[in-house]
A = this chain, B = another copy of it.
Amino acid sequence: MGASKRLEAGITRNDREMADGRTIRYYDTQGQARNIADQRPVEEQPGIGELRLDPLVNEWVVMAAHRQGRIFLPPKELCPLCATHADLLTEIPESDYEVVVFDNRSPSLRPPLGDWALPDLVGPDTDAGTSAGKCEVICFTADHGQSFKDLTPARVRVLIEAWQDRVRELSKESFIEHIAPFENRGEEIGVTLAHPHGQIYAYSYLPPRVEKMLKAASDFNSKTGKNLFDEVVAREIRDEERIVARNSEWIAFVPYAARYPFEIHVAPLKPVADLAELSVEQSDAFPEVALEVMKRLDGVFGIEMAYIAAWHQAPVRVGRDLLRLHWQITSVRRAPGKLKYLAGSESAMGAFIMDMKPEQSAGQLRDVKI
């Protein structure tokens, strides 16, 4: 038996140990017991990966060679994210579940053994480090055939509570500097498991894009005394034409300089640094806007859109007053049968070219009947 915990909105969390020592956390609304043990034979855990510095841009690259053999688009009967059933012992020992979060079986980042520190940056002479951090999987529902947009508001409420809980707990680890819960959806972007789920990457370093956001927010604050993201949201509200959804606590808009054919940022109207800081009112109001946005996205072409939906938040220890929580949803789908690819300009130079005006995609999203 593992720990049990009571969260907001009548949600409970029960922790259980998996056969190989990993932890699975059940987030439930009915106080379910969750006592079924993991019956699978114990497999050896992969080792920790390497962290190498790309000195040309001073960015860490994780070398996780052990991930090469991971499972790729299994048929539904063999889905490891479904609840355990007569034909298969899955990652989830129970025969049903609401939301679960468990430690990734092939993690890119893992908790370090003993003391840990990032190597000093000294250009090409920088030592290799170990890829400390933590990777978790979050399953949104036991129903293999659903998508985020098909979830009930009550289920999305459990989801945001689970995300908050994970951020609170992971933030306590001394080796974790930044936490990014995200969902990848669609074979077009390489999703290897069709079951509706997301991931939580907890990095031991500031990811390059976060570092850059922190620099921009810090420079802006030094110059103006204002918070950059708050000003961005204020401008979107003023411009109005790119807003796609809003309620009393949240606003969703296509950003003024979107880089993807469909890109939506969802932010709380009362700014917070991270998921852990969301009020109960904000969490309660999230499902409505989140579901509306996802329904609009799938409604544009009447097909399931490939997307990445990533929570951006302030890092665990730095920039707490500078960076703000928001959810960035980006889709490379330009049209049915057409994707935007990141080729020479975007990939090699980092220079994005958009073939579509953000006002146009915002209009298309607003026009969807939901």
List residues of A whose CB falls within 8 A of some B CB: 52-65, 67-68, 72, 108, 123-125, 178, 180, 182-184, 189-191, 199, 201, 203, 207-210, 212-213, 215-217, 219-220, 224, 228-229, 231-232, 234-235, 255-259, 308, 310, 312, 328, 330, 334, 338-345, 347-358, 360
- Tell whether, in the assembled complex, residue B348 and residue A330 are in contact, meaning their CB atoms are under 8 Å apart: yes
How many identical subunits does the complex contain? Answer: 2
Closest to A56 in B: B213
Rounded to whole angstroms, the CA-CA distance of A357 and B124 in the bound complex is: 17
Give every chain B residue within 8 A of A219 (Cβ-Cβ).
Answer: 58
Closest 4 CB pairs of A and B: A190-B341, A209-B350, A310-B348, A208-B350
**Contacts of A178 on B, CB cut-off 8 Å?**
349
User: Please, which residues of chain B bring their CB within 8 A of the CB of A123?
Assistant: 220, 224, 228, 231-232
Q: With A68-B355, A347-B330, A355-B65 known to touch, is A56 a contact of B310 (CB < 8 Å)?
A: no
Contact for A354 among B57, B64, B255, CB less than 8 A: B64
Bound Cα distance A322, B72 (Å): 43
- Say yes or no: A191 contacts B343, CB within 8 Å: yes
What residues of B have a CB within 8 angstroms of the CB of A55 in the complex? 216, 220, 228, 231-232, 257
7 pairs from A and B in contact (CB 8 Å cutoff): A56-B213, A56-B217, A57-B209, A63-B358, A124-B228, A182-B348, A209-B350
**Is A207 in contact with B344, judged by CB distance below 8 angstroms?**
no
Give which listed residue, B53, B124, B312, contacts A348 with CB less than 8 A: B312
